[in-house]
Amino acid sequence: MHRALTPRRIAAGAAVLLLTAGCSQDTAAQWGRWGMPVGISQQSNHIGSLWSGAWTASMVVGLIVWGLIGYSALRFRRKHHDERPKQNRYNVPLEIMYTMLPFLIIGVLFLYTVRTQDKVMAQTDKPDHTIMAIGQKWSWTFNYYEQGTSQVGAVIHNAGTIESYPDLYLPVNQKILFKIESDDVDHSFWIPEFYMKMDAIPGRTNTFEVTPTRTGTYLGKCAELCGAYHSQMLFNVHVVTLPEYYSYLNDLKAKGQTGEIAVNPQTTVVPVPSAKETTK
């Protein structure tokens, strides 16, 4: 039985259309990114494509499953009170299908994930800049290795505190090698607009390369629950032009913030199993 289109239902439908039409272009674009922020690096494009593809595939699978459920519920519904549907103990072709299809779906997702990971984690032999990010309770320290450039000619550092968030300056359209270390416990270096994060583990140096493509100011944070003041481990990210980047480093140089701030040598080192141990 079809419900009549009453004035109340017409008004409700019109309200939904108006609310949908009232979405801003930014909101519509975010829906197109499946809720992700605007990517600001070359590497984020690869991750964004994987993210969109995974969500699209999930929606297609979901629609097929919901469609089959709806079809089965309507096609094989009981028409009489005492009617009993046909009982089947098994259906070999159907069981093979719903066993193999999940493996096929997982295999395709795994293939594209590995391809994306290879692109994101690729590094060049000679990056334009090298920056070390050290996580410590409860802030970040950044070392800029610019001793080989005529514009700066020194290693520059900037250390934050729990009361004062540090600034991380990145030159746009430049290849930057990040070295991630920890001075105490596990942390995680995360700039959401990069679409990725890298763990900071005591006794290890993790690396990744990124090329920022969009100027602006963003917020970085620790993505690992590292202790009582984990929520305070924030830092400001400034993607600027190359002259502005050098100008900032020279300002720090003029303040005497030269030289590398290294991790505490007494930091507990996470043991790495030897080849003999891994073969046991």
Helix (H, G, I), strand (E, B) or coil at 77: coil
The Cβ of residue 27 has, within 10 Å, a number of other Cβ atoms equal to 10
Distance from C-alpha of 275 to C-alpha of 198, rounded to nearest angstrom: 25
Distance from C-alpha of 198 to C-alpha of 140, rounded to nearest angstrom: 14
Cut 0.95: pTM above it:
no
Distance from C-alpha of 137 to C-alpha of 162, rounded to nearest angstrom: 8
Full pLDDT tens readout for the chain, 280 residues: 445 555 555 555 555 554 555 556 666 666 666 677 888 999 999 999 999 989 889 999 999 999 989 998 888 777 777 767 677 777 888 889 888 988 999 999 999 999 999 999 999 999 999 999 999 999 999 999 999 999 999 999 999 998 899 999 999 999 999 999 999 999 999 999 999 999 999 989 999 999 999 999 999 999 999 999 999 999 999 999 999 999 999 999 999 999 999 887 655 554 445 555 445 4
- The continuous run of DSSP H or E covering 255 comes out as none
The Cβ of residue 118 has, within 10 Å, a number of other Cβ atoms equal to 10
Distance from C-alpha of 156 to C-alpha of 130, rounded to nearest angstrom: 11
Q: What six digits make up the tokens of 250?
A: 């020279």
- Rg value, the chain, Cα: 27
Question: CA dist 279 to 8, 209, 271, 274, 275, Å?
Answer: 71, 32, 16, 9, 6
Helix (H, G, I), strand (E, B) or coil at 78: coil
Residue 200 contacts residue 180 (beta carbons within 8 Å): yes
Helix (H, G, I), strand (E, B) or coil at 1: coil
Distance from C-alpha of 241 to C-alpha of 248, rounded to nearest angstrom: 11
Question: CA dist 194 to 65, 78, 83, 198, 220, Å?
Answer: 34, 54, 59, 11, 10
Q: What is the 3-state secondary structure (H, E, C) of 212-229?
A: ECCCEEEEEEECCCCCCC
DSSP 130: E
Helix (H, G, I), strand (E, B) or coil at 104: helix
Q: What is the pLDDT of residue 121?
A: 93
- The continuous run of DSSP H or E covering 235 comes out as strand 234-240
Question: CA dist 220 to 22, 49, 72, 151, Å?
Answer: 31, 22, 49, 27
Q: Which amino acid is at 219?
A: L
* Helix (H), strand (E) counts: the chain: 6, 10
